[in-house]
Amino acid sequence: MAFFCLAHCKIYTGSIEETIPLTERAMRLSPREPHGGNFYQQIGLVHLLQSHTDEAIRWLERTRSDRPAHPVTRAQLAAAYALNGEAERAAAELGEARRLSGDDRFSSLTRLRAVGNYGVPKIRALFEATYFSGLRLAGMPEE
């Protein structure tokens, strides 16, 4: 888990290119990790932020299979589907994120930005260009 946590920190401090190798190392060292979906989601998020939507979808669908009731996974998948031009699938995943969430964080982009930590400016820009843009395409309003 130490490599996973280090990889997670790398995303938000701006060293995103180091995230996948560290996460893969965590996966190799802990192949039976009961929270393996965290590994898949982290890799999916990095691919989403890097605009590799096909790879993001592949990893995030794997995450969804492992943790179907996790709202953040559903929102990230909604963004990836939307950026990939799959509007119906994106809207369905966004609806699931809203339903599964215990709060109103997925009610608007303004609210989501307010409750999250999106890292250093370089990484926040990637979130804006991919995650938030995809959620907007999936039907999430600005306000």
For 70-136, the DSSP string reads: -HHHHHHHHHHHHHTT-HHHHHHHHHHHHHH-SSSTTS-HHHHHHH----SHHHHHHHIIIIIHHHH
pLDDT of residue 36: 87
84, 96 in Cβ contact below 8 A? Answer: no
| CA 49 and chain centroid, separation | 8
Q: Is residue 2 part of a domain?
A: no
Q: Is residue 24 part of a domain?
A: no
92-115: average pLDDT: 97
Q: Is residue 87 part of a domain?
A: yes
Residue range of the domain that includes 110: 39-138
Work out how many domains the chain is built from and give that number: 1
Neighbour tally for 29: CB within 10 Å: 12
Q: Is residue 7 part of a domain?
A: no
Q: Is residue 63 part of a domain?
A: yes
CATH number of the domain within which 131 lies: 1.25.40.10
- pTM as predicted: 0.96
Q: Is residue 6 part of a domain?
A: no
pLDDT of residue 35: 86
34-41: average pLDDT: 92
